[in-house]
């Protein structure tokens, strides 16, 4: 591979246009050279950002482009596994939007194909590439808040008036848990290096077979967890790690620069002991640079498929608990 990782994008999603293509323009050693879409008119705003991009009218044609090193997949959730497998078999590294699968067992086949191919295959779990999480984890592991007792988090937005949004359709793998539960669940697992022993409580509001609001309680090995996700509430996001001697709070844990400035607050007693601000970091850019580094140097990738499987297993446990509670 050259010193530039050449990307192809499957589909012209709004997210790819607003976040990932600009990140590919900014990230060192990364460049987008191709996009595949069934509607060429959707490619126009992409070309306004980068006029050198090749446009394909078929996903497979992009996968057959020998100049493409890696493929970014922002397709609807139910297509992630299929096109990740096709990209691997075409010899491409893959960065697929979350959730990379709709259940944990489907990730096993992706792990097998990854290992057989020697390619880098990962879920686009960008938050772990933001330095606020590394900083917060070091604080937690240093004993800054004593023994961890409880983790609580919330992530919400309101798309009730957007009936065409794929997140509002069960057939495309919609719902708040698959879309944003991955953040409250996954960040908790990252910070603590623990997995849930059991789900102790679930309360879910459903609309057209889609979970639009959920409250989940879980018992981990050494602490309790409470998480709320919603697609029907005013935007909010926050993660709290509450210990015997203090509290770590991330005020914009998942969408810094979009939701608000990333800050890590440390509370001791009733007072804020310190505030660490992260004003300029772009976790999409850092994600791409880390992806390139792993391919070129063999460095460890912070969010491997095994990590993604663990988070999906927790989501599976929530749905299983909810189903059993209705019997």
Taking residues 10-24, report their average pLDDT.
Answer: 97
- In the block, tokens 């969010």 appear at 303
pLDDT tier at 325 (50, 70, 90 boundaries)? Answer: confident
Decide if 138 is catalytic: no
The model's pLDDT over 84-141, given as tens digits with 9 standing for 90+, comes to: 999 999 999 999 999 999 999 999 999 999 999 999 999 999 999 999 999 999 999 9
| pLDDT tens string 44-64 | 999 999 999 999 999 999 999
**Cα separation, 84 vs 89, whole angstroms:** 9
Residue 327: the pLDDT is 73
Fold of domain 5-125:
Rossmann fold (3.40.50)
Average pLDDT, the chain: 96
> Which pLDDT does position 1 carry in this prediction?
60
Sole residue written with tokens 């050259």: 2
Q: Which residues contact 67 (CB under 8 A, 6 or more apart)?
A: 6, 33, 34
89: helix, coil or strand? helix
Contact 285, 29 (CB under 8 A): no
More confident residue, 92 or 1: 92
Q: Which of 133, 155, 123, 136 is nearest to 230 (CA)?
A: 155
Give me the CATH topology for the region 131-280: Dihydrodipicolinate Reductase; domain 2 (3.30.360)
Phi, psi of 3 (to 5 degrees): -80, 5
pLDDT for the residue 286? 98
Q: CA 2 to CA 150: how far, in whole Å? A: 47
Within 10 A of 323 (CB to CB), how many other CB atoms are there? Answer: 10
Cis peptide before 78 (omega within 30 of 0): no
- Domain extents for the chain? 5-125, 131-280
Burial of 204 (0-12, 13-18, 19+ CB in 10 A): buried
User: Looking at 92, 98, 137, 286, which residue is catalytic?
Assistant: 98
Q: What is the pLDDT of residues 203-227, one digit of tens each?
A: 999 999 999 999 999 999 999 999 9
DSSP 8-state code for residue 211: E
8 A C-beta contact, residue 137 and residue 143: no
């Amino acid at each position: 591979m050259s010193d530039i990782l050449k990307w192809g994008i499957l589909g012209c999603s709004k997210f790819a246009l607003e976040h990932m293509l600009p990140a590919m323009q900014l990230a060192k050693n990364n460049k987008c050279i191709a996009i595949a879409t069934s509607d060429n008119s959707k490619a126009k705003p992409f070309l306004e950002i980068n006029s050198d991009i090749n446009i394909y009218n078929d996903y497979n044609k992009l996968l057959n482009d020998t100049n493409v090193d890696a493929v970014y997949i922002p397709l609807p959730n139910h297509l992630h596994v299929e096109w990740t497998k096709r990209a691997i078999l075409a010899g491409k590294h893959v960065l697929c939007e979350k959730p990379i699968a709709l259940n944990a067992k489907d990730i096993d086949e992706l792990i097998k194909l990854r290992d057989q191919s020697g390619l880098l295959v990962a879920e686009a779990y960008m938050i772990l590439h933001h330095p606020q999480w590394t900083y917060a984890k070091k604080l937690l592991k240093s004993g800054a808040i004593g023994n961890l007792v409880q983790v609580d988090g919330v992530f919400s937005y309101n798309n009730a008036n957007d009936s065409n949004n794929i997140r509002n359709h069960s057939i495309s793998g919609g719902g708040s848990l698959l879309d944003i539960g991955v953040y409250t669940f996954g960040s908790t697992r990252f910070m603590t290096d623990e997995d849930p022993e059991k789900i102790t409580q679930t309360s879910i509001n459903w609309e057209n077979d889609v979970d639009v609001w959920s409250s989940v309680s879980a018992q981990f090995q050494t602490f309790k967890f409470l998480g709320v996700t919603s697609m029907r509430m005013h935007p909010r996001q926050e993660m709290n790690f509450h210990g015997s001697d203090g509290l770590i709070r991330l005020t914009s844990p998942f969408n810094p620069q979009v939701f608000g400035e990333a800050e890590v607050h440390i509370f001791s007693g009733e007072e804020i002991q310190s505030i660490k601000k992260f004003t300029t970091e772009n976790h999409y850019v850092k994600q791409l640079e880390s992806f390139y580094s792993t391919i070129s140097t063999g460095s460890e990738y912070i969010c491997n498929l095994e990590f993604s499987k663990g988070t999906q297993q927790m989501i599976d446990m929530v749905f299983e608990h909810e189903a059993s509670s209705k019997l």
